[in-house]
Structure 1
């Protein structure tokens, strides 16, 4: 079964450790990571909380960076295309077993936060074995099986998914609201308190799973 994993890896074991050390406040988010052939990795990276000159100087001193090209400057964030050294490409391939995909990668405070999609638990087990054998500090923060249900794809329990969909269809989130929480609870045949908690937890899980990298396994 397809498995979605949230994990962290120290930057010193992947890329840009020296950049994070030089610029303590920098946030780096991968727009996408692509293979450029011959094991070359060419990520598109959004850079936040860093001056352009300081960031480029830090990259010049980082041994994992081969080339860097500024694509866009939006004042509050910069978009770069980088070329990482071959060793980084090989490491990323081994981390994902070539069959898995890195969906998201965010770097902050010397740590890369990854979201990786594996075709099955077996590929994830291979990654964990590889990391153990090579003393890589891959920390698994959350694992979710993608069972094909809409709730599973967005980090929601079935109850949270049903509550949110019912609330939207009933106009609960409209401005002004078309239905009160009590009325919605009566329609769903659950208590006011249970529905309130289900909606709050569902919204929290949905935001974490779509807007933030890290997401929490929710219990209801």
Structure 2
């Protein structure tokens, strides 16, 4: 039975994370595509402001052969990266375990949601990470059956839920806005960047669960 694992991992543990963790605070999110070339993590979105510094830093890394900006939408840019000789890391372990990356994003710390064919695949992944000295923190492990049988399981963290509720109650999604992200952040006692990430991720997860996973009759 297929299982899904949600875990946190330091950027230094895999090539894309190590290459893209820059001081400018650019946030990285994997493009949700299934590449046909066999390469791992060839496409990613970057959101931020100082893309010139970001691109120069990535292109100067010895692991990168080529970096191309494909398109820009607002403050987000879609990149295609061609890897050179990469080091053994999380990406190779994921590929070897025939796992599927469902979601991944971060900067200095990344959040991953990975689907394994069965618990044995998850166990092999865990053992390989230990062998390579890769540490990660497990947030949640569940089967696909558990995910789809739970009617109101939106799979958001308590922190994300708290931020989303604060934003909704304050009127952040209203026109005009009732509160700003700065005010949401102040209400929660966190940075604006953290508030933005929590609200965006929570909203994206809830909307995907409602609009893409089930029909309205299921609720």
Q: TM-score, normalised by structure 2?
A: 0.62
1:21 aligns with 2:22: yes
SS in 1 for 2:22: helix
| Residue deviations 1:134-169 (CA, integer Å, cap 9, x gap) | 211122211111117733497359xxxxxxxxxxxx
Alignment match, 1:193 = none
Root-mean-square deviation (CA, aligned residues, Å) is 3.2
Change beyond 3 A, Cα 1:86–1:211 = farther
Where do residues 58-207 of structure 1 align in structure 2 (5 Å cutoff)?
Answer: 58-87=57-86, 91-108=90-107, 110-147=108-145, 150-152=148-150, 155=153, 207=202
Q: How many residues get paired?
A: 162
Q: TM-score, normalised by structure 1?
A: 0.61
| Residue deviations 1:167-203 (CA, integer Å, cap 9, x gap) | xxxxxxxxxxxxxxxxxxxxxxxxxxxxxxxxxxxxx
SS in 1 for 2:135: coil
- Which has the higher mean CA deviation after the structures are superposed, 134-143 or 93-102? 93-102
Alignment match, 2:56 = 57
Change beyond 3 A, Cα 1:115–1:31 = same
8 Å CA contact retained: 1:19, 1:59? yes
8 Å CA contact retained: 1:13, 1:136? yes
SS in 2 for 1:87: coil
Between the aligned partners of 2:49 and 2:88, the Cα distance in structure 1 is 25
Alignment match, 1:46 = 45
Shift of 1:131: 0.9
- Which has the higher mean CA deviation after the structures are superposed, 14-23 or 145-154? 145-154
8 Å CA contact retained: 2:3, 2:119? yes
